[in-house]
């Protein structure tokens, strides 16, 4: 059957889409598995077979045996699913426009130029281990695989950094400077050893002496959602609820992390609050969909969970995966049509898998 055009779904109500999603899933049975990141919107998240943060979903993508892996997340996550799954499996992203602004802040051309410029100052292959946050394109993961580097997530960044320093004395960390800075701080490195590399400036805006003295070069990149959180939000919360707890994602600024009671991945945030005593109150610095979902889950235990920012801020690109796109994807699959297949070129996939396998082995 010819591919069903998306135009037939774009104007459908959410309720109609929910019915069509359920019907298509029933037709597909175990041929399709739906993976959802914690930040996914609730009207899509409810259909998930498997949920988690980037590390957990990386492992799950390598373990599922379904023909189709429908990834309700963003582009780099679907790339990881394609890399880690079996050759006969197909990874699908319901909306190809679901990208990641942080991932876009580091591209292969800029990273390769950085590597060349570092090579003008030091023996870069002997001095630097490249470490890319999983929130990056497949070709950057392949770059790390090719140069003896590795991938990290917010769950395992400290462990990965320990491994990286065992290989070489310095780290080039991209694309999120905040996760890199917090990780270095956790390891006891002074902040002056954690130097920002600005890819839009020659030599990253650094002198040769600064490069030689740095322990970690932090790519100038960030998450637009986690940039919203401020120490002033924490101060206002503590003034009103001195008995309350603050927990933040390490993509937040150093100041926010330093003034939080707990800092960790989305998995750690969920686990910490679910295991907390009844009646506790929490201020959470991460994406709104996760916070709202968690708040509803723990309310019966008398726990109060609130979003850190005073303005609404969601992962806008993750929001693009909506019931209309999911219904369109699944109905086409049920008819034998594959839409929005994500395929990483074989030469990239091989090197990227090398870096991802290193991460999973170290973790």
Q: Are residues 144 and 197 in the same domain?
A: yes
| Residue 99, pLDDT score | 80
Q: Respond yes or no on whether the N-terminal peptide bond of residue 175 is cis (omega within 30° of 0).
A: yes
What are the CA-CA distances from residue 225 to residues 14, 180, 231, 337 (Å)?
25, 17, 15, 35
Domain range enclosing 64: 7-99+317-343
Q: In angstroms, rounded to a whole number, what is the distance separating the alpha carbons of residues 302 and 279?
A: 4
User: Band of the pLDDT at 41, cuts 50, 70, 90?
Assistant: confident
Q: Is residue 86 part of a domain?
A: yes
3-state secondary structure of 93: coil
In a domain, 148, yes or no: yes
Condensed to tens digits (0 to 9), the pLDDT of residues 123-162 reads: 999 999 999 999 999 999 999 999 999 999 999 999 999 9
Specify whether 127 is located in the same domain as 219. yes
Residue 354 lies in a domain: no
Residues 14 and 116 in one domain: no
Check residue 279 and give left, alpha or beta (phi > 0: left; psi -120 to 50: alpha): left
Q: How confident is the model at residue 285 (pLDDT cuts 50, 70, 90)?
A: very high
Q: Which of 224, 253, 270 is the last residue of a domain?
A: 224
Give 227 or 352, the one with higher predicted confidence.
352
| Average pLDDT of span 181-198 | 98
204, 224, 244 — which closes off a domain?
Answer: 224
Query: In this predicted structure, what is the pLDDT of residue 316?
Result: 63
Q: Are residues 144 and 170 in the same domain?
A: yes
Task: Kindly state the average pLDDT of the residues 195-202.
Answer: 97
Q: Above 70 in pLDDT, residue 72?
A: yes
Helix (H) or strand (E) holding 210: helix 208-213
Do 252 and 301 fall within a single domain? yes
In this structure, is residue 352 part of a structural domain?
no
Same structural domain, 275 and 329:
no
CATH number of the domain that residue 39 is part of: 3.40.50.10800
Higher pLDDT, 256 or 309: 256
Is residue 356 situated within a structural domain?
no
Is residue 46 pLDDT above 70, yes or no? yes
Q: Verify that 144 and 91 share a domain, yes or no.
A: no
Average pLDDT of span 230-258: 98
Pair (215, 251) in one structural domain? no
Asked if residue 184 is part of any domain, the answer here is yes
Same-domain pairing of 135 and 194: yes
Task: Tell me whether residue 355 is in a domain.
Answer: no
pLDDT band at 1 (very low <50, low <70, confident <90, very high): confident
Per-residue confidence (pLDDT) for residue 160, from 0 to 100: 98
Please check the confidence at residue 333 and state whether its pLDDT lies above 90: yes
Mean pLDDT of the chain: 94
Please say which residue of 171, 198, 224 terminates a domain.
Answer: 224
Q: Is residue 178 part of a domain?
A: yes
Domain identity same for 126 and 185: yes
The reply to whether 108 and 29 lie within a common domain is no
Structure tokens at 44: 């899509």
Compute the C-alpha angle 202/184/249, nearest 5°.
100
> pLDDT value at position 281?
98
Residues of the chain with pLDDT > 90, as a percent, come to: 84
In this predicted model, which residue has the larger pLDDT, 314 or 210?
Answer: 210
- Reported as a single tens digit per residue, the pLDDT across 95-131 is 999 888 888 899 999 999 999 999 999 999 999 999 9
Please indicate, yes or no, whether residues 160 and 218 belong to a single structural domain of this protein.
yes
Q: What is the pLDDT of residue 350?
A: 97
Provide the number of structural domains found in the chain: 3
């Amino acid at each position: 059957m010819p591919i069903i055009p998306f135009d037939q779904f774009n104007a459908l109500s959410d309720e109609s889409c929910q019915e069509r999603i359920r019907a298509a899933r029933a037709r597909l049975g175990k041929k399709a598995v739906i993976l959802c990141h914690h930040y996914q919107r609730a009207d899509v998240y409810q259909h998930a077979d498997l949920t988690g943060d980037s590390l957990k979903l990386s492992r799950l993508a390598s373990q599922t045996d379904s023909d189709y892996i429908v990834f309700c997340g963003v582009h780099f996550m679907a790339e990881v699913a394609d890399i880690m799954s079996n050759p006969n499996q197909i990874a699908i992203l319901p909306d190809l426009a679901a990208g990641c602004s942080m991932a876009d802040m580091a591209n292969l051309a800029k990273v390769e130029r950085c590597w060349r410029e570092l090579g003008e100052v030091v023996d870069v292959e002997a001095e630097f281990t490249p470490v890319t946050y999983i929130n990056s394109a497949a070709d950057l993961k392949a770059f790390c695989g090719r140069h003896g580097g590795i991938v990290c997530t917010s769950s395992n960044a400290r462990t990965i950094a320990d491994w990286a320093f065992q290989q070489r004395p310095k780290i080039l960390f991209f694309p999120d400077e905040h996760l890199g800075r917090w990780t270095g701080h956790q390891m006891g490195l002074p902040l002056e050893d954690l130097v920002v590399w600005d890819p839009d400036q020659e030599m990253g805006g650094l002198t040769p002496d600064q490069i030689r003295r740095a322990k970690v070069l932090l790519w100038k990149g960030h998450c637009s959602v986690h940039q919203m959180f401020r120490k002033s939000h924490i101060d206002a919360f503590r003034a009103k609820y001195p008995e309350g707890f603050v927990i933040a994602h390490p993509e937040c600024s150093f100041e926010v992390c330093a003034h939080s009671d707990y800092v960790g991945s989305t998995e750690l945030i969920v686990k910490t609050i679910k295991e907390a005593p009844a009646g506790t109150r929490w201020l959470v610095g991460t994406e709104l969909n996760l916070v709202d979902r968690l708040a509803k889950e723990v309310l019966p235990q008398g726990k109060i969970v609130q979003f850190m920012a005073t303005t609404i801020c969601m992962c806008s690109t993750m929001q693009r995966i909506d019931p209309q796109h999911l219904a369109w994807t699944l109905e086409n699959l049920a008819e034998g049509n594959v839409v929005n297949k994500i395929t990483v070129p074989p030469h990239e996939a091989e090197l990227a898998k090398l870096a991802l396998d290193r991460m999973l082995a170290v973790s």
